[in-house]
Structure 1
Amino acid sequence: MRAFWGALPTEGRWLLSTVAIQTLGRGLTLPFTLIYLHEVRGFDLGLSGTLMALIAVVGFLVTGPGGALTDRYGARAVLLTGTAAMIAGNVLLAFATTPALAAAALVLIGFNFGVSWPGFNALIASVVSGELRQQYFGINFALVNLGIGVGGVVGGLFADVGRPATFTTIFLADAASGLIPMALLLGPLRHVHGRAAAPADGSAAPATVGYLAILREPAVRWLTLLTFVGTFIGYGQHEAGFPGFARQAAEVSTRTIGLAFAVNTAIIVVLQFAVLSRISGRRRTRVMLVMAATWAVSWALLGLAGLAPGGLAAATGVIAFMGVFALGETLLQPTVPAMSNDLASDHTRGRYNALTAAAFQGGAIAGPVVAGFLLQHDLSAVYIGLMVLGCAAIAVVARVLERHVSPTVNGMPSEPAALGEGSPA
């Protein structure tokens, strides 16, 4: 960690030093927004769920424009706009007494979610490069989990449906946490604009490179598909499929589910540094193969928990699932963003990151829908089988992807090489 910190430029240190504090505000509200809408504001459960879906849907819709704006006007400008929308959304949500006001607030939050991913990843890529970039994405992921995890614990202890003012407080605290990145971007990072710079010969000006042109690259198509499948069987199941299976099939308590999420966060925070050391200099596609195998084991453990419902074995299986799954997450998060940014050229970085973000959000939308349908129809065995099959699909896609990227993009040490099919256009 000392070596990594010493190698970071000053701008990278500023970006990384406040990540956990910034995301603590998100952790305060993330697990409790549905509870707030339903139990505090009195919206029916179906309407509350629909309102919550606005975050993902709006995020998906604005990701493409967000990536293009990042390339045209710079990551800093996009991030400032998105953060301002997030602050306004949380303040509005804190006092939203009608569905219309709540919807407007969640649209603002979703807008920030959609434009900030390509903007933030592009800003990171403009500051750090090479192997340091992969390490940065991994450590950033661990700190995000730490902030959200601590925020969730604090929010759980503080928020009380019998005292609506406590929910107002946590949403205002979430809004206040957005002032930290704004202060960084307006202060010590005001010169790091991350603006797109087209080649001097004008051969590929930002305005002329569209998403269809980028998707014509085989490496981009396969990486986008891998991201979608990985999210569908991974993060797309965190808020719906996993809790639903744990309650209906494994019949464990909500306390056990909460403990499982805590174990997930702890393992990510504890192991991410060691994992980064182990995967350094190795082919990223091979790391994805290990991730796929790890996730297949985790889903098998959850399936076994459903065979002995309601007892200690079920609780152990549910917790073990989240622990093993977390190990796979530490392999995924450093590799996919780093590969996407290594494929991109400087003037298209926003759009490359937007494609990855759109694939992630698409998986996050489709995952709960499929899980809800299967679990509602008592097809828990089919559900687990589909998840394991998804892990196998990741392995196949990773092997194909390997044939379309250069060794450098695939995480191998830099060395002189002719441009290949996987090289940036």
Structure 2
Amino acid sequence: MSTPPAPARPSLLSFWSDLPREGRMLLSIVVLEFLGSGLVLPFAVVYLHDVRAFSLSTAGLLLGLPPLVGFLVVGPGGALIDRIGARRMLAATLTTMLASDVVLAFATTVPVAAIALVLNGLAFGTSFPAAQTLIASVIPPGMRQRYFGVNFTLLNLGIGLGGLVGGVLVDVHHAWTFQLVYLGDAASYLPGLVLLLGPLRHVAGRPERSRDVPKAGYREVLTKPAVPTLLLLTFVSSFVGYSQLNAGMTAFATSISQVSTRALGFAFAGNTAIIVLLQLVVMQRIEGRRRTRVVAVMGLVWAVSWLLLGLSGMVPGTIAATLLVVACATVFGLGETLLQPTVPAIVNELADDHLRGRFNALNAACFQLPAIIAPPIAGALVGAHLGWVYVALLTAGCLLVGAVSVTRLEPQLTPEVNGQRPQPDASQETILVA
């Protein structure tokens, strides 16, 4: 008797052709939108300090406003998504981001810059849950993991290209060059607004609820099986992951490993390149596998990346230190290709339609909180020359992510939510008699 063959992994070509029209339209603008983000992302401190002549401490406080405000509004934002619909909320978010960039482009005083960055925080707190909810409303469950992977690839491609263009355009001796890139970032939101207000105006409106469904809120989300564990996983992975790459890693690399800022540029370029080059390959390889196991592998990959960073501190100021820092960020990017398609898919397959905004908002809050608390912790450890404690903390946290994913989260998920494709019915297979 023959064994049932494993289901074939769908090709990228079939993925595009199988996508709903709305999904293809949303993907078509990702590179352009995040090209705008890439134009300004690397230069915020330079703009505020060198161009607008704010002190470094003032610039730091100003740049702390978006994550703080974003965290404060993410809860109400999730409830508002469920009330008015993801499309309307995302359109309001893009409008707010556009206004923030325009105000910041002409901000010559601290209060005006603060207003711009508060607007940025309002949008920051609601953009992720609104976008994830909108995607889940138009993409069938079986395609969401692949969609999130392709979206992440295009996002990084846009940021990478934008960073290159911005690096060529900006000049600290000419304020107008910075105004140009901020206005360019503002303009990058216009295609999304046109889509949401025009061709996509029929999707992701106010969720329909039958009258027999009782009114529900965040308490009902938190009491759903697997949700608290998933939120813990998001918090820990964000704390030992993105929050460190953007703050602690750079502090360790410059203070302890003593590498140059140019080396950091190479490190982030390597991080972006590995995502753009490998995300689609990785996405094909993980299709149909348990998402919790994929996250566990991601934890191991990130643990290796932080160990590479630790090794760079043992050879400070050398070419070897530079290569190890670049390797750290590049290996970290490989871990990102495993994380980004999986966790958003789990969140949105656990979510009830009328509570989807709240599900995504809670996940976003657990992702954003570490961005507020991780930099001070990293700064304290690195500043006290406790680099080995810092690396050990991150490595242990990555291993904890893997353990929680496999031992706690996996038993709480159904096979379908965990990404496993149904096996063919053996009774329908042809029985071959030798």
TM-score, normalised relative to structure 1: 0.95
Alignment counterpart, residue 252 of structure 2, candidates 239, 245, 261: 245
Paired position in structure 2 for 1:37: 48
Paired position in structure 2 for 1:179: 190
Alignment counterpart, residue 347 of structure 2, candidates 333, 337, 340: 340
Instruction: Give the superposition deviation at 1:226.
Output: 0.6
Task: Indicate if the aligned counterparts of 1:122 and 1:194 stay in contact, CA closer than 8 A.
Answer: no
Say if 1:14 and 1:305 are closer, same or farther in 2 by CA, change over 3 A. same
Paired position in structure 2 for 1:213: 220
Count of aligned residue pairs for this structure pair: 412
Instruction: Give the superposition deviation at 1:415.
Output: 7.9
Paired position in structure 1 for 2:292: 285
Deviations 1:21-47 (A, max 9, x none): 111111111111111111111111111
Alignment counterpart, residue 15 of structure 2, candidates 1, 4, 15: 4
CA distance in 1, matches of 2:208, 2:235: 29
When Rg is computed on C-alpha atoms for both structures, the one with the higher figure is: 2
CA distance in 2, matches of 1:86, 1:281: 37
CA distance in 1, matches of 2:80, 2:212: 19
CA distance in 2, matches of 1:397, 1:218: 15
Identical aligned residues as a percent: 54
Task: Indicate if the aligned counterparts of 1:126 and 1:194 stay in contact, CA closer than 8 A.
Answer: no
Moved beyond 4 Å, runs of 4+:
none
Task: For residue 403 of structure 1, give the secondary structure of its aligned residue in structure 2.
Answer: helix
Paired position in structure 1 for 2:389: 382
CA distance in 2, matches of 1:279, 1:46: 44
Paired position in structure 2 for 1:122: 133
1:86-105 paired onto structure 2 within 5 Å? 86-105=97-116
Task: Indicate if the aligned counterparts of 1:52 and 1:106 stay in contact, CA closer than 8 A.
Answer: yes
1:71-82 paired onto structure 2 within 5 Å? 71-82=82-93
Instruction: Give the residue type in structure 2 aligned to 1:35.
Output: V
CA distance in 2, matches of 1:279, 1:191: 33
Task: For residue 309 of structure 1, give the secondary structure of its aligned residue in structure 2.
Answer: coil
Paired position in structure 2 for 1:422: none
Instruction: Give the residue type in structure 2 aligned to 1:31.
Output: P
Instruction: Give the superposition deviation at 1:397.
Output: 1.4
CA distance in 2, matches of 1:415, 1:223: 26
Paired position in structure 1 for 2:377: 370
Alignment counterpart, residue 202 of structure 1, candidates 212, 216, 220: 212
1:118-267 paired onto structure 2 within 5 Å? 118-198=129-209, 200-204=210-214, 208-267=215-274
Instruction: Give the superposition deviation at 1:379.
Output: 1.0
Task: For residue 197 of structure 1, give the secondary structure of its aligned residue in structure 2.
Answer: coil
Task: Indicate if the aligned counterparts of 1:300 and 1:388 stay in contact, CA closer than 8 A.
Answer: yes
RMSD: 1.2
CA distance in 2, matches of 1:385, 1:301: 12
Alignment counterpart, residue 314 of structure 1, candidates 303, 317, 321: 321
CA distance in 2, matches of 1:406, 1:262: 38
Q: Which runs of 5+ in 1 are unaligned?
A: 417-425
Deviations 1:28-71 (A, max 9, x none): 11111111111111111111111101110111111111111111
Task: Indicate if the aligned counterparts of 2:217 and 2:355 stay in contact, CA closer than 8 A.
Answer: no
CA distance in 2, matches of 1:158, 1:202: 58
Instruction: Give the superposition deviation at 1:201.
Output: 4.5
Task: Indicate if the aligned counterparts of 1:131 and 1:280 stay in contact, CA closer than 8 A.
Answer: no
Task: Indicate if the aligned counterparts of 2:39 and 2:162 stay in contact, CA closer than 8 A.
Answer: yes
Instruction: Give the residue type in structure 2 aligned to 1:162.
Output: H
CA distance in 2, matches of 1:145, 1:302: 22
CA distance in 1, matches of 2:307, 2:224: 35
CA distance in 2, matches of 1:406, 1:28: 42
Matched, 1:109 2:120: yes
Task: Indicate if the aligned counterparts of 2:129 and 2:364 stay in contact, CA closer than 8 A.
Answer: yes
Alignment counterpart, residue 406 of structure 1, candidates 391, 414, 417: 414
Q: Which runs of 5+ in 2 are unaligned?
A: 1-11, 425-434
